[in-house]
Structure 1
Amino acid sequence: EAAKAAAPVFLCPPPGDVLWDEYMKPLGITAPDLARNIGVLEGRVNDLLSGDTVVGVELSLRLARYFSTAADFWVHLQLEHDLERARHKLGDQIRREISPRISAK
Protein backbone atom coordinates (compact mmCIF):
# COMPACT_ATOMS: atom_id res chain seq x y z
CA GLU A 1 0.00 0.00 0.00
CA ALA A 2 1.49 3.32 -1.06
CA ALA A 3 1.89 5.90 1.66
CA LYS A 4 -0.08 9.07 1.17
CA ALA A 5 1.94 12.23 0.70
CA ALA A 6 1.69 14.48 3.70
CA ALA A 7 -0.49 17.51 3.20
CA PRO A 8 1.57 20.70 2.96
CA VAL A 9 1.79 22.82 6.06
CA PHE A 10 1.15 26.46 5.26
CA LEU A 11 2.62 29.18 7.43
CA CYS A 12 -0.19 31.54 6.50
CA PRO A 13 -3.41 29.96 7.76
CA PRO A 14 -6.67 30.59 5.95
CA PRO A 15 -8.56 33.63 7.24
CA GLY A 16 -11.36 31.42 8.52
CA ASP A 17 -8.93 29.68 10.87
CA VAL A 18 -7.67 33.02 12.18
CA LEU A 19 -11.23 34.27 12.56
CA TRP A 20 -12.20 31.22 14.63
CA ASP A 21 -9.00 30.70 16.65
CA GLU A 22 -8.15 34.33 17.42
CA TYR A 23 -11.54 36.04 17.51
CA MET A 24 -14.69 33.95 17.61
CA LYS A 25 -13.66 31.10 19.92
CA PRO A 26 -11.93 33.27 22.57
CA LEU A 27 -14.82 35.75 22.57
CA GLY A 28 -17.56 33.09 22.54
CA ILE A 29 -19.03 34.35 19.25
CA THR A 30 -21.13 31.91 17.22
CA ALA A 31 -21.52 31.97 13.44
CA PRO A 32 -25.14 33.20 13.70
CA ASP A 33 -24.06 35.97 16.09
CA LEU A 34 -21.25 37.11 13.82
CA ALA A 35 -23.42 36.98 10.71
CA ARG A 36 -26.11 39.08 12.35
CA ASN A 37 -23.62 41.61 13.73
CA ILE A 38 -21.76 42.15 10.45
CA GLY A 39 -24.82 42.00 8.20
CA VAL A 40 -24.14 38.87 6.17
CA LEU A 41 -25.87 35.51 5.82
CA GLU A 42 -24.88 32.83 8.32
CA GLY A 43 -23.91 30.58 5.43
CA ARG A 44 -21.27 33.07 4.36
CA VAL A 45 -19.66 32.96 7.80
CA ASN A 46 -19.84 29.16 7.85
CA ASP A 47 -18.30 29.00 4.37
CA LEU A 48 -15.46 31.25 5.50
CA LEU A 49 -14.85 29.14 8.59
CA SER A 50 -14.77 25.95 6.51
CA GLY A 51 -12.55 27.44 3.81
CA ASP A 52 -15.27 27.26 1.15
CA THR A 53 -15.20 31.00 0.44
CA VAL A 54 -12.59 33.73 0.50
CA VAL A 55 -12.42 37.15 2.10
CA GLY A 56 -13.12 39.90 -0.40
CA VAL A 57 -12.86 43.62 0.27
CA GLU A 58 -16.46 44.02 1.49
CA LEU A 59 -16.22 41.18 3.99
CA SER A 60 -12.81 42.48 5.08
CA LEU A 61 -14.35 45.88 5.82
CA ARG A 62 -17.22 44.32 7.77
CA LEU A 63 -14.92 42.12 9.86
CA ALA A 64 -12.52 45.00 10.43
CA ARG A 65 -15.29 47.26 11.68
CA TYR A 66 -16.70 44.62 14.02
CA PHE A 67 -13.38 43.44 15.47
CA SER A 68 -11.65 46.85 15.36
CA THR A 69 -8.85 45.67 13.10
CA ALA A 70 -7.21 47.48 10.20
CA ALA A 71 -9.46 47.69 7.15
CA ASP A 72 -7.05 45.60 5.08
CA PHE A 73 -6.20 43.02 7.76
CA TRP A 74 -8.60 40.30 6.61
CA VAL A 75 -8.07 40.71 2.89
CA HIS A 76 -4.29 40.61 3.44
CA LEU A 77 -4.64 37.36 5.37
CA GLN A 78 -6.47 35.95 2.35
CA LEU A 79 -3.85 37.26 -0.09
CA GLU A 80 -0.92 35.86 1.90
CA HIS A 81 -2.62 32.48 2.21
CA ASP A 82 -3.44 32.38 -1.51
CA LEU A 83 0.11 33.39 -2.50
CA GLU A 84 1.63 30.72 -0.30
CA ARG A 85 -0.64 28.05 -1.76
CA ALA A 86 0.16 29.20 -5.30
CA ARG A 87 3.91 29.18 -4.61
CA HIS A 88 3.60 25.64 -3.31
CA LYS A 89 1.51 24.48 -6.27
CA LEU A 90 3.01 26.47 -9.16
CA GLY A 91 6.33 27.91 -8.00
CA ASP A 92 8.64 25.26 -9.48
CA GLN A 93 6.74 25.18 -12.77
CA ILE A 94 6.85 28.96 -13.13
CA ARG A 95 10.59 29.06 -12.34
CA ARG A 96 11.19 26.44 -15.06
CA GLU A 97 9.01 28.17 -17.67
CA ILE A 98 9.92 31.82 -17.15
CA SER A 99 13.35 33.42 -17.16
CA PRO A 100 13.76 36.77 -15.42
CA ARG A 101 14.19 39.71 -17.75
CA ILE A 102 17.62 41.22 -17.43
CA SER A 103 17.44 44.99 -17.47
CA ALA A 104 19.69 46.96 -19.79
CA LYS A 105 21.80 49.62 -18.15
Structure 2
Amino acid sequence: MFVRIVKMGFHEEHVGLFLDNFKKVKLDIRNFPGNRFLELYRDKADPTLFFTYSYWETEADLETYRKSALFCDTWAVTKPLFKQKAEAWSVDKLVSLP
Protein backbone atom coordinates (compact mmCIF):
# COMPACT_ATOMS: atom_id res chain seq x y z
CA MET A 1 0.00 0.00 0.00
CA PHE A 2 1.15 3.53 -0.65
CA VAL A 3 -0.08 7.08 -0.12
CA ARG A 4 -0.90 9.62 -2.81
CA ILE A 5 -0.69 13.27 -1.72
CA VAL A 6 -2.08 15.96 -4.00
CA LYS A 7 -1.68 19.69 -3.34
CA MET A 8 -4.20 21.99 -5.03
CA GLY A 9 -4.46 25.78 -4.91
CA PHE A 10 -7.71 27.39 -6.03
CA HIS A 11 -8.82 30.86 -6.96
CA GLU A 12 -10.67 32.17 -3.90
CA GLU A 13 -13.93 32.54 -5.79
CA HIS A 14 -13.80 28.86 -6.85
CA VAL A 15 -13.23 27.23 -3.45
CA GLY A 16 -16.97 26.67 -2.93
CA LEU A 17 -17.30 24.99 -6.33
CA PHE A 18 -14.39 22.68 -5.52
CA LEU A 19 -15.86 21.75 -2.13
CA ASP A 20 -19.31 21.13 -3.61
CA ASN A 21 -17.87 18.84 -6.27
CA PHE A 22 -15.65 17.01 -3.79
CA LYS A 23 -18.69 16.36 -1.62
CA LYS A 24 -20.43 14.79 -4.64
CA VAL A 25 -17.57 12.48 -5.64
CA LYS A 26 -15.77 11.65 -2.39
CA LEU A 27 -17.62 8.39 -1.74
CA ASP A 28 -17.13 7.25 -5.34
CA ILE A 29 -13.39 7.94 -5.05
CA ARG A 30 -13.18 6.22 -1.67
CA ASN A 31 -15.07 3.17 -2.98
CA PHE A 32 -13.02 2.91 -6.17
CA PRO A 33 -11.31 -0.50 -6.39
CA GLY A 34 -7.95 -0.36 -4.66
CA ASN A 35 -8.64 2.79 -2.64
CA ARG A 36 -8.39 2.18 1.09
CA PHE A 37 -8.54 5.69 2.56
CA LEU A 38 -9.33 9.26 1.54
CA GLU A 39 -8.97 12.55 3.39
CA LEU A 40 -9.19 16.20 2.39
CA TYR A 41 -7.20 18.84 4.27
CA ARG A 42 -7.33 22.63 4.13
CA ASP A 43 -4.32 24.79 4.92
CA LYS A 44 -4.77 26.85 8.09
CA ALA A 45 -2.88 29.87 6.77
CA ASP A 46 -4.20 29.83 3.18
CA PRO A 47 -7.89 28.81 2.88
CA THR A 48 -7.50 28.37 -0.90
CA LEU A 49 -4.93 25.58 -0.50
CA PHE A 50 -6.08 21.96 -0.16
CA PHE A 51 -4.45 18.54 0.08
CA THR A 52 -5.88 15.11 -0.56
CA TYR A 53 -4.39 12.03 1.03
CA SER A 54 -5.45 8.71 -0.45
CA TYR A 55 -4.17 5.23 0.26
CA TRP A 56 -3.97 2.76 -2.62
CA GLU A 57 -3.33 -0.97 -2.62
CA THR A 58 -1.09 -0.84 -5.71
CA GLU A 59 0.23 1.67 -8.22
CA ALA A 60 -1.85 -0.14 -10.84
CA ASP A 61 -5.00 0.64 -8.83
CA LEU A 62 -4.13 4.34 -8.81
CA GLU A 63 -3.39 4.28 -12.54
CA THR A 64 -6.71 2.53 -13.22
CA TYR A 65 -8.45 5.28 -11.24
CA ARG A 66 -6.53 8.01 -13.10
CA LYS A 67 -7.73 6.54 -16.43
CA SER A 68 -11.33 6.12 -15.25
CA ALA A 69 -14.36 8.19 -16.21
CA LEU A 70 -14.72 9.14 -12.54
CA PHE A 71 -11.27 10.75 -12.46
CA CYS A 72 -11.62 12.35 -15.90
CA ASP A 73 -15.00 13.86 -15.03
CA THR A 74 -13.80 15.04 -11.61
CA TRP A 75 -10.60 16.51 -13.00
CA ALA A 76 -12.51 18.27 -15.80
CA VAL A 77 -14.47 20.16 -13.13
CA THR A 78 -11.53 20.69 -10.75
CA LYS A 79 -8.63 21.70 -13.01
CA PRO A 80 -10.15 24.96 -14.36
CA LEU A 81 -10.59 26.17 -10.77
CA PHE A 82 -6.83 26.13 -10.02
CA LYS A 83 -4.79 29.26 -9.42
CA GLN A 84 -1.61 27.18 -9.68
CA LYS A 85 -0.59 23.84 -11.10
CA ALA A 86 -1.45 20.91 -8.83
CA GLU A 87 1.43 18.94 -7.33
CA ALA A 88 1.32 15.24 -6.51
CA TRP A 89 3.52 12.75 -4.69
CA SER A 90 3.33 8.99 -4.29
CA VAL A 91 4.98 7.95 -1.04
CA ASP A 92 5.41 4.82 1.03
CA LYS A 93 4.22 5.05 4.61
CA LEU A 94 7.07 4.03 6.88
CA VAL A 95 5.58 4.62 10.33
CA SER A 96 2.05 5.19 11.61
CA LEU A 97 1.22 5.62 15.27
CA PRO A 98 -2.42 5.49 16.43
State the TM-score, normalized to the length of structure 1: 0.33
State the TM-score, normalized to the length of structure 2: 0.35
Pick the structure with greater CA Rg.
Answer: 1
* More helix as a share of residues: 1
Structure of greater relative contact order (alpha carbons < 8 Å, 6+ residues apart):
2
* More strand as a share of residues: 2
